[in-house]
Structures are given as C-alpha cells and as structure tokens.
Amino acid sequence: MVEEAMAAARDGAQTTDEADALARIRARMGLSDDVPTIGGYEIRRRIGSGAMGVVYLAWDPSLGRNVAIKLLSTRAPTEAATERLVREARGLARLQHPNVLTVFEVGRHDDRVFVVTEYAPGGDLGSYLRERRPSLAEILRIFVEAGRGLAAAHDAGLVHRDFKPANVLLDAEGRAKVADFGLVRVVTDESDAPLSHTPADATPGMAAGAGSTDAANLTRTGALVGTPAYMAPEVLQGAPSDPKSDQFAFCVALYEAVAGTRPFAGASLLELVESTESGGIAPPAAGRRVPRWLLRVLRRGLSRDPDARFPDMHALVGALERRTVRRRIAATAAFLAVGAFAGWFAAAATEEQQCETGTERIAAVWNDSVRSKVRDAFDRAHLPYGDSLEASVDAAFDAYAQRWAAAHRRACEETRIHGERSERALDLRMACLERRKRAFADAVDLVVHADAASLARSYDVAAGIPPVETCDDPEWLAEHGRWPDDPTRRAEAERIDREIVRAQAMLRAGKHTEAKERLAGLADATEALAWPPLSAKRDLVLGQVLLEAGEHQAADEALHRAFAAALETGADDVAAWTAVTGVHLAATRLRDPKAAETWWWLVAPLLERVPHDAWLHGAALANRANALLVAGDNERSIEMRRRAMEVMKTTFGPDDPRIAEQKANLAAAYRRMGEPERAVVLLLEAAATMRAAYGRLHPKLGQLYNNLGTAQLALRRLEDAQASYATSLEIKQATLPSGHPSLGHAYHNLGEVFLERGQNDDARASLERAHEIWRSALGPDHPLT
C-alpha cells in the first residue's frame, strides 16, 4: 500500500483518500504525523475532479475558514501554459465581485499549480437544477446573479470560454458564483484551437463546490476549449472565444434550465455544428412552458450572428432583471392610486420606504399591461421587421423606467437619508422627474396608438424622451428650471409644456402635420401666459417641425425667435438646442455655410452651461460634422464626427443605433475622400447594429445598403455590391409603395452592377423597370426619365 500511495503521489493522480492513507502510513512508520497540506492549507477531503485536476476541501489555519483548492493536473501542456495559468489566476484574484468565485491565492506544489478559492458548499448549478427543480423565478434569480458575475469579468478583460451550469457554484445562502474563468484554455491548450468535426472525448469538469462534476463536458485536450454543447457557432467553427460567445453559452444554459432541454441538439460535434448554424431552437420539453418575453430574450442571445446578440452581458442581464422587477411592480401596480404630486410621500412610513416608491410610481406608466398594448400595436401593423423593433422599443422603455426609478431614489436618499441636499432641492428634483414621467407616458401612449408608418420610427420616439439625468442637479434646476409662482399660471405653464413635449414626440414619430397643428393650437395660450422660456421652447419645436416638413424659411424664422427669447431669459438648454438645430438647417437644407458657422459659434459656449444632456452634446458635434461635410472640409468633418461618436458611446454604449447612424455619415466622408475601403468597414458595422436594433428589413437599412453597394462598387467588389444593392431593393420593396421613386434608384443601381458583370439580360430588365417607375411617378419630362 505504501508503494501504491507513493506512486499515486508521484503521478499526480492521488485522491484525498489516498492522501489520507499515505499520511496514516507515514505516521505508523514514524516519518510524519502531519495532516496533508498544500501551500500551508490542511486538506480535508476531495470534493470534485475533472480534466483539469482535483478539487479539495481544505482548511485555512491562518484565517480559520474553509477554502477550496484546485490542484491542477500534470497534463498541462507546456511551461508557458503553466505560467500563463498563474498569471490569469492572479489577474482573477484582483476581481472582487459577489457573483464571481473569489481567488485567494495561486502557487505551486510539487511542480503542479494550485489555485485557492472560496468554498461554495451549495454545490454546482447543474446539480441544483436536476435535484431541486426550482421555480422559474428562482432560476432567473440565480442566472441574473451569474450574469452579473460574467459581466464583471468581461469588464475586467476576462473571458470565461466554458460557461455552463457546472461552473456556476452556490454559496451557503444560495448566491451564484461563477467559477473557472479562463482556466480551461490554459490547461487544455496554448490558444483557442480550430475544432475537428469528430466526437470529442467526454471528461468530467471541475469546480470549487461540493461534489461538482459534469459528465456533459466534452473538452478535449489540444482540440476543444470548453464544452461544445454550450459553444457559440463561431467558436465551433474555430473562432476565438470572446464575451459574445460567453453570452451565447449563458443563454444555452438558461434555456436548458427553463425549457428542460438544450436549444441545439447533436449526438456528434458535426451534428452540433449543423444545429447551431441552422438557428432553429428546439422546443421546450413536454410539460415545460417558457414565457414569450423570455424566449425573445433567449433567441437574441442565441443568435447565430454575434452582432445580433445583446451588446454585452450588462444588456442581457438588464433584460432579464427588468422582468423580475416588473413582476414585483405588477403585484402593486393594480393598487396604485396616482394622487397629486404634493402628496407623493404620504403613503410611506419610513424614510427608507419613501425612497423606494419610485419603482411603484413609474409602474403606473410602464407595466405589463401597457407592454402588451405596445405588442398589440406591432401585431396589428404586421411590419416585416416588427419583432426586432418591438424588442428594442421594449428595452428602451424598460431602460428609461429603470433610470427614472434610480433618479427618484437618489433624489430622495440624498435629502431624506443622507441629508446632503435641502428640501427645496428635493422639490425641484421631484418636479423635474414628474415632468419626465409625463413625457415618458406620452411617448408610450404615442407608440401604443401608432400606425405602421409611425411604428417604423418608434425607437426614435423611445430614445428621444427627455433625459432624467438633468433632474440630478438641483442647482442647475434652480437656475434654469424656473416656473411661474402663481399656482394657476404654473398649472397652465405645465399644461402647455406637456403639449409641446408631446408635439416633439409626434415629430420623432413622423407626424409632422399633427405636431404642427398641436403647436399652432398653443399659440394663443402661450402668448396669454407671457412666460418667455415657454414661448422659446414652443418656437424651437415649431422650427424643428417646419424643418422636417420642408418649410425651411419658416423654420429659420421660428428658430431665430426661439433663440432670442431663450437667451434673454436664461433658458440655456432651449438656446443650445435651438442653435444646434440651426446648424443643421443652415448646412443641410438652406446650404448656407456662413449661417451654419454663425449658429455653431453660438452653440459652443452654451454647451458648457448644459452639462447633463449627452444627446445635446453629441448632436451638436454631429451637426457640426454635417456642416463641415457640406462645406467640403472632409478631414475636419471626420474629426468632429469621431468626437460626436465618442460622446454618444459614453452615454448610450457602443451598440446604440444612433451611433450606427453616425458611422454611416462618417462613411460618406471617407467615400468623398476616395477611401471606400474605410467606408465599407463602417457601413458593415452600422448595418450590423441597425439590424439588431431595428430588424433586417427596416426602412433605415434600405439607404444604408445602397451606400454600401456604392462603396463596394468603387472597390470593384462587384459580387458584394450586387448583394448590397439587392438587399436595398428587398427592403424598399417590403416597406415602400410599389411605384415609389426610390425603388427606381434601387433597380437602376442593381442594373449598373449587372452591366459591369456582363449580365446583360438582367441589366436590361432592371434598368427598364427603373425607367418605368420613374416615368410613372415623376412624369415623362423629369430628368431621370
């Protein structure tokens, strides 16, 4: 037995029982009576094993606590891989997050690497799901926590590469802890190797919980990096793992947990690759029901195209978390009575409770009942891109509700709990938030009652609600948010303000005529009130409406009136937006570069006085870029556009469709500079973002694909150009009337590519169709006919 135990120790295959036996034998021989240790930690028992090595429960005598020790296998391929493992483990040790298994130490023991982590006695999530069959709410709670941990790791530059239930551990209180970040790659190979389409060896996994194993782990040394059943299609095809592939694995695991089956089946690796590439998701197991909203979230996370998935784990977790919050809201929303603003604290018994009422208050505007009405509006419209757009609008409304509730809580806590702000400051902030809530309600109502044409612009409506961040600064509100002191006049001012904000939302929905009529109906009331900041705001929105309606001279007059009134009364936000709109009008519609330059000269100092409106700052830079582009100053236009994009990315995130639109404009500048290659890259990025947000057939993508085809044609990439022009035509056919002149342009461009490729019959048919459309729509005397 001595020889067997010593041999096991030398071979690195020693189990805890063998270690204990060895210790007893050594004690009987008088060699030692010490408890087996690794790095000073006392080994208690083995709690798991896998391809990576053995996991022990150990005791930390210095701090008096249980820990888990992963003693890694001697099969680590190279010294370089071992060194990298040590570096990555040390990097992970610097990541402190409640949903990431904490790494305490990394070291070497008899030429083998060991990693000391916190001990999670609740076992692994896979075992928990099999043995406990938890409720949907409990599953979502755990996965939201695990998703937060995964997001935190991504923020720290770490990629998991093998996310699965066996690598999510539960502590004594049931809190999720994500384990084994990056370790699989280092232990199995030097890099993410291309996959062989042959069945992989099944080997058990390894995690730092009680009894954690995973018979489904298909990791194969030197071939696979992770578990194929949870791998994203691009990784199965040989691409390196990244946060988007971790997101895919997370959604596979969540689907498996709620549906009772994995979304993609395959008895072999080849079958699994084919299944994931198909994009078809297996139906839930018999007796399992997955809510529709959750299926939408999971389908996005399981998209074959990484660009169609959520921008990051924060966005995915947010989509899951908002729903769990809404379930709590729904329980109380039916009992809410929306009373006068002055009594907003009346129902709360303590300061802490007072500061938690924001979620309930915003539930009066945005809840499951209202959400279903939005869904009904999309169902009635039968838009070919409706599902994707609805999901984005839904997410935008969710995000606004969350930001509003958070701002409400901050305002309350800073005054009522922390004593950092005065009661006057609280009143100003709450009044501001009440106005934002009304604007939110009007935007939601506009979408609920929108026709198909307005629904196409519903994301613009959702994204254009006035920001809540302005309400965080009571000093700014005190200086710029003045209202009449007389209660009657104040009530009238707030009524007019709400009508103006609603007209602006109508403008974003493309309802120019209705918005103009609403503003015209406010003329007498605004004049009678004689409150200059409100007069300036009305003229600003009127100018914006007239601009979009093509009444450019009238728009210019309205903007000049608005700017004069705003400047005189210190309404800096209105003055800034007026000047920004003036830059756009002068440069792109009036084609007056001197006027555009004058408006820009007025914008710059005002931006410093409106620090909270990121969209204002981004729009100012973007409109300046447009003006420079029209003036032929391409290099400065590009510089300004990039500055605009950086401002927007900081606030909206890199995958916001507003940034995609700026990329498309940036591509136009590069095309003018004779750099179509850069234009193609930008347009492809923009197309991916806009497809994810709006849906593949959204009208905004029609012109984008046309521009992409033009850039590809300039590079003589004729096949790519043909595909882009064909996509543009498909979108326009799906979204425009059959005789719309824009269809003529699409057919004409496609015909030009056919000519270049020598496909003369196809070219003739396309060009003749373009001529027919133009002749019918524009008349025989138009230059195009």
End-to-end CA distance of the chain: 97
Q: Are 92 and 133 in contact (CB under 8 A)?
A: no
The continuous run of DSSP H or E covering 687 comes out as helix 676-694
Rounded-to-10 torsion of CA 646, 650, 654, 659: -50
Dihedral sign for Cα atoms in the order 325, 331, 332, 336: positive
CB burial readout 562-597, b (16+ within 10 A) else e: bbebbbebebbbbbbbbbbbbbbbbbbbbebbebbb
Using DSSP, state whether 217 is helix, strand or coil. coil
Distance (Å, rounded) from C-alpha 108 to C-alpha 210?
23
Using DSSP, state whether 104 is helix, strand or coil. strand
Q: For residue 763, which of 775, 774, 748 has the smallest C-alpha distance?
A: 748
Please name the residue that has the structure tokens 């009652």.
Answer: 449
Q: In what order do the strands lie in the sheet with 65-72?
A: 37-38, 41-50, 53-60, 65-72, 112-118, 103-109
Distance (Å, rounded) from C-alpha 367 to C-alpha 654?
28
Distance (Å, rounded) from C-alpha 617 to C-alpha 489?
32
Q: What are the backbone dihedrals phi and psi of residue 279, each rounded to the nearest 5 degrees, phi first?
A: 80, -10
Q: How many other CB atoms sit within 10 Å of the CB of residue 657?
A: 21
Please name the residue that has the structure tokens 């600064």.
Answer: 473
Cα dist from 450 to 437, 464, 475, 543, whole Å: 20, 16, 38, 23
Distance (Å, rounded) from C-alpha 360 to C-alpha 369?
14
Distance (Å, rounded) from C-alpha 150 to C-alpha 155?
9
Q: DSSP label at 761? A: H
CA atoms within 13 A on the CB side of 198: 4
Q: Tell me which residues are annotated as active site.
A: 162
Cα dist from 749 to 439, 709, 730, 733, whole Å: 43, 9, 13, 15
Structure tokens at 2: 């001595």
Q: How many other CB atoms sit within 10 Å of the CB of residue 762?
A: 16
Q: For residue 541, which of 586, 496, 608 has the smallest C-alpha distance?
A: 496
Crossing angle of helices 760-778/741-756, nearest 10°? 160
Distance (Å, rounded) from C-alpha 682 to C-alpha 674?
14
Using DSSP, state whether 53 is helix, strand or coil. strand
What DSSP letter does each residue of 335-378 carry, written as one string?
A: T-----GGGTTTT-SSHHHHTTTHHHHHHTTSSHHHHHHHHHHH
Q: Are 254 and 298 in contact (CB under 8 A)?
A: yes
Distance (Å, rounded) from C-alpha 187 to C-alpha 178?
18
Amino acid at 486: D
Cα radius of gyration (the chain): 31
Please name the residue that has the structure tokens 């599953």.
Answer: 139
